[in-house]
A = this chain, B = another copy of it.
């Protein structure tokens, strides 16, 4: 999947003057937005609106963002003001909120786009920023005072914000907390109160605001009551009431009891001897108890917290939503240390406050914990790490989980191959557009066994639209696919046994030389990283440049990260695996995407993305105690031969490609036949024909020299 969360990390790495640890650590899923505001979540949008941007993401990538001097689409100084028809009238909402602010003696209220779990995607009920402002982009911060209202967002969303905000709102075209704080310091009166809901802010974001306002006369006041929710009132969507269910045993890596025992063992072995682990991330609880729900778009999770102590297990969730089977499973060990006590979702703070009064140590991952929960625990009773032990355990898939993900990818490849063949046949007739294309690939996936729908909103982009890394089409505005331009689709599926995410870029006509060169270099980068052999415990960020070098060689590059972890029927972006600076070292059993790209503004975009499993490598020697590692690519879809300039590839790259194609044939071929997809089978055979190694670019000089010698010799002998 394209890089919503981590698109900016690489760019930041390059732009930050020093990326030492003296910089503030980023937090939350949007953990790549180092030193930037956290902007991790999207607001699902009513259909028929503007084209959605890819949810999630952070505001860098083009950092530092100087405030733009461009003209606003809105003309708020005209009489009457001009607003596009897409703008939302927020006058009444703001009036209600301001009434509440005055009642509480609050002079400025900060509204983020996050939820209480630092989720990448959020539910409609958590779309506070969208309701208040009208702005439906995934990333932004609003501040409302008694007479002003301002929204901060990054350059991806400037146009969208101008179309959606009314004249009550000023738009600030930057996202740094420093800029927000400076604005607040200017407009809030001395001795004024600045407030926010601490359960919607990561620890680091809170700290940034706190530092920025430190030394001023204003007070930063955490308020447990959310004032937007009060203003929203009964118009706020109700909490989800859909069923929370147990994953059938065949689709789990191990029982929840085994997982709990494993975490408790880590607690015992930890030098700080924590007495409890607190889980805030929705994936964490879902994974630990083998439960799934549908509270969040695309991610099969449900609202919950867990406090796992050495003797008790408290699951904070709406009990009535649990299926009978799920309840039975959770209660099967009662009473006893493997009994799950079900508690009200809203009781987590009170329960934690009570627990923290004892002689305890609470272990938590700061990246997924809000400041609100964190602040409940006295500092000396905290064991803070970036990621909880559950997050770390989940990252390394066991053999059964690996097998499931491999099997998922075989079926997923069938769907993608069906789509590629369908495109090949229908695009030349001009009947496919980006939107219908996206619908078609979703449909092919739905038809596969264990399918549970897409794992994110499909990116389907033709021609110049693909130059926007996060573009997704809507029904209303969708470009027609054509054999005259490139087409990029970045899509994935949720299946009971795994989550997929694959990107292919294709051209059915005559690509330009630059398109062909850029595609080939992106492919070379994908291959170079995929076939890399590296020591155990290598950090992803120290090797991700291998995916860039072929582009760098000719002055090209891409502005997003190179990969992210992925779950077993969980999140398509699964932390902490990946190639960014805050990802953990690579270990055998981890899955990550590998996805270099190249984007040419106003012309075309290329991305080639595969999911790869970290496996042990067979090396002649061995330095260090552990075997070296490499990747096994589990996405099994051929690349577009029409776009490969074989002369650029080295013999090693061609040999790698041929062995990958052999694996595709071996794994996907039989499945196509089993599904009686004979035309697709023939297409696959054709598309995976081995490439001649002798045509490799770097081999050319030597080979050519000998070949010409041979030809001279033959002609002389013949003469």
Q: Which residues of A contact B (CB under 8 A)?
A: 13-26, 31, 34, 214-215, 366, 380, 384-387, 392, 532-539, 541-546, 549, 551-558, 576, 581-582, 584-585, 617, 619-624, 628, 650-652, 693-694, 696, 698-703, 705-707, 709-710, 713-714, 717
Contact = CB atoms under 8 A, between A and B. Distances in A.
A623 B555 contact: yes
Contacts of A555: 533, 617, 619-623, 628
Given A380-B214, A619-B554, A18 B385 contact: yes
Contact of A582 (B18, B25, B701): B18
Given A13-B585, A554-B619, A699-B703, 6 more contacts: A14-B585, A21-B21, A555-B619, A650-B650, A652-B698, A693-B702
B709 A701 contact: no
Contacts of A552: 532-535, 628
Consensus secondary structure, chain A interface: loop
B22 A34 contact: no
Nearest to A558: B623
A651 B22 contact: no
B623 A557 contact: yes
Contacts of A22: 25, 366, 384-386
A537 B15 contact: yes
A703 B584 CA distance: 43
Contact of A703 (B392, B585, B703): B703
Contacts of A34: 21
Nearest to A384: B22
This protein's copies in its complex:
2
A14 B628 CA distance: 12
Nearest to A598: B623
Contacts of A558: 623
Given A21-B23, A552-B533, A620-B555, A541 B538 contact: no
10 cross-chain pairs, A with B, having the tightest CB-CB distances, nearest first: A555-B619, A699-B702, A21-B25, A20-B582, A555-B621, A557-B623, A702-B703, A22-B25, A14-B537, A706-B706
A535 B549 contact: no
Nearest to A214: B380
Contacts of A652: 698
A16 B584 CA distance: 8
Contacts of A710: 706, 709-710, 713
B13 A542 contact: yes
A543 B24 CA distance: 23
A18 B650 contact: no
A557 B624 contact: yes
A446 to B, nearest CB: 38
A215 B361 CA distance: 14
15 contacts: A17-B584, A21-B21, A21-B581, A22-B25, A22-B386, A546-B546, A554-B620, A557-B623, A696-B702, A698-B698, A699-B699, A699-B701, A702-B703, A706-B710, A710-B713
Nearest to A31: B20
A534 B545 contact: yes
A551 B538 CA distance: 14
Given A387-B18, A534-B552, A13 B582 contact: no
Contact of A707 (B15, B366, B535, B706): B706
A98 to B, nearest CB: 32
B699 A13 contact: no
A31 to B, nearest CB: 8
Contacts of A366: 22
Contacts of A537: 14-15
Nearest to A366: B22
A475 to B, nearest CB: 34
A34 B623 CA distance: 23
Given A651-B701, A703-B699, A621 B556 contact: yes
Nearest to A624: B557
Given A552-B532, A555-B533, A556-B621, A13 B539 contact: yes
Nearest to A709: B710
A562 to B, nearest CB: 10
Contacts of A650: 650, 698
Contact of A545 (B542, B701, B714): B542
A276 to B, nearest CB: 19
